[in-house]
Structure 1
Amino acid sequence: MKIDLTDTTASKINKALVQGRRAIGTPAVGMVLTMVIVTDEENAYDSIKAAEEASHEHPSRTLVVIKRHARTPRDRTKSHLDAEVRVGADAGTGETVILRMYGEVSDHAGSVVLPLLLPDAPVVVWWPVNAPDVPVKDPLGALAQRRITDMYAVESPLAALEQRVSSYAPGDTDLAWTRLTPWRSMLAAALDQARTEITSAAVESESENPSAELLARWLGARLGVPVERVVTAGPVVTGVRLGTEKGEIVIDRPEGPLATLTLPGQPARTLALKVRPTSELIAEELRRLDADEMYAVALRGEGAKEAHAHV
C-alpha cells in the first residue's frame, strides 16, 4: 500500500503509517530498528531496493531522505516536505517513508526525521553516495548507533579512506570493509590450517581499490609484516599471497565467483568467493550495532595486538 502526502509534516506522516497498517490488517509493529538512507533521486531506487531486501532479515522502518534542488518557483519560494508512505508488500517486511525535502527544510533534516524514529529502537544511517566528511557530526549521523558509508561511491576512494581515518568514531563502518568479510574469513581459516610464521604478504587488486587497501592494512596490523600492494587488471581484490618458510599461502580470484586456495604441501582447492550484492552487505552490517574494532584497526593499520583478533 502506498500513501502520497504533499506539503506535509512528521505528524501527518505518522498518522499515515498508522492508517496504512490498519488498512492492511497489521496494526502491531514488530520492527527492530530504524534505517535512515540519505541519498539523491538518481540512487534512491537501488538503495531502497537493497534496504527492502535486507529487511527480510531485519524488519525495519526505512526513512529515505532526499534533498531536492529548486526546479520551480514554488521550490525556490516555499520550504516544504513531500512524503511517500509504503507499508505491506510495497515495503519489504517493514515500512518505508520517502521524504523529499525542498527549500530550507532540507537544512533541518534531523528535526524532520527525529519524530519518525521508532521509539526505543537502534538507528542506522546509510549514505550510499555523498557521505559527510565526519559522519558522527552530521545532524542525521548524530542520531545513529551505526553510520554506514561507501568509499566505492566517490571519485577518489583512497583520499576518502584517509578522511575516514581522521574522522573515525565508534559506530562508523564502510561497505568497502564489509565486502572483505569472505576474504578475511578465508584468510583466517588458511592461517589456522598452515600454523606457520608469516614472513611477507601481498594484496593484488585493481588500482585505487579501497577494499584492497583496507585488507592490506588489516593484514599488516594482524601479522606484523609489510604488505605489498600489487596492481592487476582484474576487478576488485583478485588475490592475496602470504609468504612462509614452507612456501606461499595463496588465495587467487582473477574473475568470477570462485577462488583457488593453495596451502604449502597441499593440493589447491576451489572455494566460493563471490562479489555480494548491496542488500547482503547491508544485512550483514545490521547484524551488529556495536563498534567494529577491527574496522578501526584496518583504517589505521595498527593496534591489532591490543584489539581482539576476530574476523
Structure 2
Amino acid sequence: MNIDLTETNAGAVASALVRARRSAGSPAMGMVLTLVVVTDEAGRYDAMKTASSVSAEHPSRVLGVIRRAARGPARLDASIKIGNNVSGEAVLLRTSGELVHHAESIVLPLLLPDSPVVVWWPQHAPDDLAADPLGSLAQRRISDSAAVGRGRRGALIAQAKHYAPGNTDLAWTRLTPWRALLAAALDQHPVKITGAAVVAERANPSADLMAAWLQVCLGVDVERRASRGPGITDVRLQTRHGDIAVSRPSGRSATFTIPGEADRPVALKRREVDELLAEELRRLDEDNVFATMMRCVAAWSNGRGNGSATKRAKPVRTPEKKEKKKKASNKARS
C-alpha cells in the first residue's frame, strides 16, 4: 500500500500510518526499532531499498529524511509504504523551507514508542553525530566514512575526534571477517608477533582502523602500504617463523597463509551495505573496541603517531591492558 501526502504535518502522517495498518489487516505493531535514514534525492532510492531489505531481519519503521532547499515556505511532503515486500513501515519525509533546520520536530512524533532509535547517514554525515539534532534522538548512530567521495580520512578523523557512546562507522563493520580470521590464525599459531603490515588502496578508512586495531591488540608497530585495491588487499603479521597473512587481491576470495602449513583459500568477499547495516543492528549497546579505535585515530590526528598510519606509531594501551597492569602492580607490592 502506498500513500502520498503533500503539504502535510507529522500528526497527519502518524494518522495515515494507523489507517494504513488497519487497512492492511495488521493494526498491531510488531516492529522492534525505528531506523531514521538521513539522505538526499540522489541517494534516496538505494538508501531506502537497503533499509527496507534490512527490516526483513529487524522489523522496523524506516523514516527517510530528505532536506530540500531551505528557502521558501516551510513544507512537508510524505510518502508511506506498507506491505509490498516491505517488512514493517517505510516513510519518506521531504522537508523544505524552515523545516529543513528542524527535521527532528517532524521525526520525533513518528518514533515507535518504547523502542530503540537508530540514525543512519548513508553518505555524508555530520562531524559530531551525537550533537546533530536527529542524532540526539538515537541510541545508535551509524555513519560510513568510506562512502564520502573525497576526504575519507578526514571524515574518519572527524568521527574520532567527536566520538560519543553509541556512534559507529561501517568502515569498522567491514573488518569483522578480517578480524575473525586473524584471531583464528593466532589461536592456531600462538607465536610472538614482531610487526604487522596493512596493504590497501589509498585513503581507505577500514585500513586505517585495521592498523589501529593491530597496534592496540598486539602492541607492535604497524606499517601501512598502498595498493590498487579494491579495499584491503593484504594483512600480514610478522613472526620469526614467517608471515601470517590474509591476502585478497580480487576483493572476492582470499588466501590464508600460516608458516609451516599449506596455503588455504577462504571466502572473504566484500560485503554489501545491507549486510553491514544488518550486523550493526544486531547490537545496540556501545562498542567498546570501536571506542578504543576512535581514541587511537584521534591520537594519530593530534600528532601522537601518524594519521595515515604509514609511520610507526606508539602503541596505545586499552582499558583492559591498563587494568591488567594495575593488578600486576598491586600483586607485586603485596
**Do they superpose with TM above 0.5?**
yes
Give the Å deviation of 1:307: 7.1
The answer to whether residue 12 in structure 2 is matched with residue 12 in structure 1 is yes
The answer to whether residue 100 in structure 2 is matched with residue 86 in structure 1 is no
The answer to whether residue 142 in structure 2 is matched with residue 128 in structure 1 is no
Letter in 2 for 1:123: V
String of CA shifts for 1:181-207, please: whole Å, max 9, x gaps: 111111111111111111010000011
Q: What does residue 330 of structure 2 align with?
A: none
Q: What does residue 305 of structure 2 align with?
A: none
Contiguous gaps of at least 5 residues in structure 2? 297-315, 323-334
Q: Distance in 1 between matches of 2:146 and 2:260?
A: 37
Q: Distance in 2 between matches of 1:305 and 1:251?
A: 28
CA contact under 8 A between 1:86 and 1:97: conserved in structure 2? yes
SS at match of 1:248: strand
CA contact under 8 A between 2:10 and 2:106: conserved in structure 1? yes
Q: What does residue 329 of structure 2 align with?
A: none
SS at match of 2:112: coil
Q: What does residue 23 of structure 2 align with?
A: 23
Q: What does residue 57 of structure 1 align with?
A: 57
The answer to whether residue 264 in structure 2 is matched with residue 277 in structure 1 is no
Which runs of structure 2 are paired with 1:40-79 in the superposition (5 Å)? 40-69=40-69, 76-79=71-74
Which has the bigger relative contact order, CA under 8 A and spacing at least 6?
1
Q: Distance in 2 between matches of 1:304 and 1:220?
A: 11
Give the Å deviation of 1:305: 5.3
Which runs of structure 2 are paired with 1:1-311 in the superposition (5 Å)? 1-69=1-69, 76-89=71-84, 92-154=86-148, 155-301=150-296, 302-304=316-318, 306=320
Letter in 1 for 2:112: L
Letter in 1 for 2:14: N
SS at match of 2:136: helix
Q: How many residues align?
A: 302
SS at match of 1:93: strand
Q: Distance in 2 between matches of 1:219 and 1:193?
A: 17
Q: Distance in 1 between matches of 2:79 and 2:274?
A: 22
SS at match of 1:19: helix
Q: List structure 1 segments (4+ residues) > 6 angstroms apart after TM superposition.
A: none
CA contact under 8 A between 1:217 and 1:300: conserved in structure 2? no
Contiguous gaps of at least 5 residues in structure 1? 71-75
Q: Distance in 2 between matches of 1:211 and 1:256?
A: 14
Give the Å deviation of 1:304: 3.0
Q: Distance in 2 between matches of 1:204 and 1:78?
A: 51
Q: Distance in 1 between matches of 2:66 and 2:319?
A: 42
SS at match of 1:239: strand
Q: Distance in 2 between matches of 1:233 and 1:62?
A: 37
CA contact under 8 A between 1:61 and 1:94: conserved in structure 2? yes
Quote the RMSD (CA, aligned, Å).
1.3
CA contact under 8 A between 1:60 and 1:94: conserved in structure 2? yes
Query: What is the TM-score when the length of structure 2 is the normalising length?
Result: 0.88
CA contact under 8 A between 1:5 and 1:84: conserved in structure 2? yes
String of CA shifts for 1:18-74, please: whole Å, max 9, x gaps: 11111111111100000000010001110111111111110000000000126xxxx
SS at match of 2:8: coil
Q: Distance in 1 between matches of 2:160 and 2:3?
A: 42
Query: What is the TM-score when the length of structure 1 is the normalising length?
Result: 0.94
SS at match of 2:146: helix
Q: Distance in 2 between matches of 1:280 and 1:129?
A: 17
Pair 1:307–1:43, CA change in 2 (3 A): farther
Give the Å deviation of 1:240: 0.4
SS at match of 2:130: helix
Q: Distance in 1 between matches of 2:84 and 2:210?
A: 39
String of CA shifts for 1:148-174, please: whole Å, max 9, x gaps: 001112211111121111100010000
CA contact under 8 A between 2:144 and 2:171: conserved in structure 1? yes
Q: Distance in 2 between matches of 1:184 and 1:252?
A: 13
Letter in 2 for 1:265: G
CA contact under 8 A between 2:69 and 2:100: conserved in structure 1? no
Q: Distance in 2 between matches of 1:150 and 1:77?
A: 31
